Amino acid sequence: MNVIAIRQFGEQIGLDLTDAYKRAHKDRLKRVCNGVGASWFPPKLLELSTEIFQYFLPSTNQHDFDYDDLAKTKKNFKIANKRLYKNCKIQIKKDKNLTYFTFKRKKSKWIKKGEAKFLYRMCVDFGEKAFFNE
C-alpha cells in the first residue's frame, strides 16, 4: 500500500486530515496505517476487510493515524470515529464515478453510504480496544 499516494489523494479531494497526519513520515504511516481493520485482526481477516473496503483507504488511514496519535480520552475516541465517517462521506460526495443505482459495474452511492455507516458503527461499537491499546 502506497501510504503517501493515499494521503495525497485524500488531500486532493479535501478530506479532513490533521496537520500531524499531513506531516507524518512515510515509515510511521506504514507502521500505523495497516489497512481497513484493527491491528489485532488475524492477518487473513485484515486482508479480507481491506479488500472489501479498500475504496475508503484515504479515510481509514487518517483514522488509523488518529487512533495512534490522539491522547487516549473518550472525547478523542469520538473525534476519531466522527472524522472517519465525515471523510467517508466526503469521498462519496466527491466521486463522480458513483451513481445512485448500480449500472454497468459502477458502484452505487447508496451502497457506499451503507458501507461508510457500517465502518463507523464498527469503530464506535468495537474500536475502544484498539484506541485505548487494551
Cβ neighbours for 56, distance < 8 A, ≥ 6 positions apart: 36, 88, 91, 115, 116, 119
Measured CA to CA, the distance from residue 64 to residue 58 in angstroms comes to: 10
pLDDT, tens only, 113-125: 999 999 999 999 9
Residue 119 and residue 84 in contact, taking contact as beta carbons nearer than 8 Å: yes
Whether residue 127 is predicted with pLDDT greater than 80 in this model: the reply is: yes
Tell me what the mean pLDDT of segment 66-79 comes to. 96
Separation CA 131–CA 9 (nearest Å): 25
What is the share, in percent, of the chain residues with pLDDT greater than 90? 78
The 3-state DSSP class for residue 17 equals coil
- pLDDT band (50, 70, 90) for residue 104: low
* CA atoms within a 13 Å half-sphere pointing along the CA-CB vector of 22: 9
pLDDT for the residue 103? 53
pTM above 0.85, yes or no: yes
Q: Look at residue 96 in the predicted model and tell me its pLDDT.
A: 79
Q: Write out pLDDT tens, residues 43-65.
A: 999 999 999 999 999 999 999 99
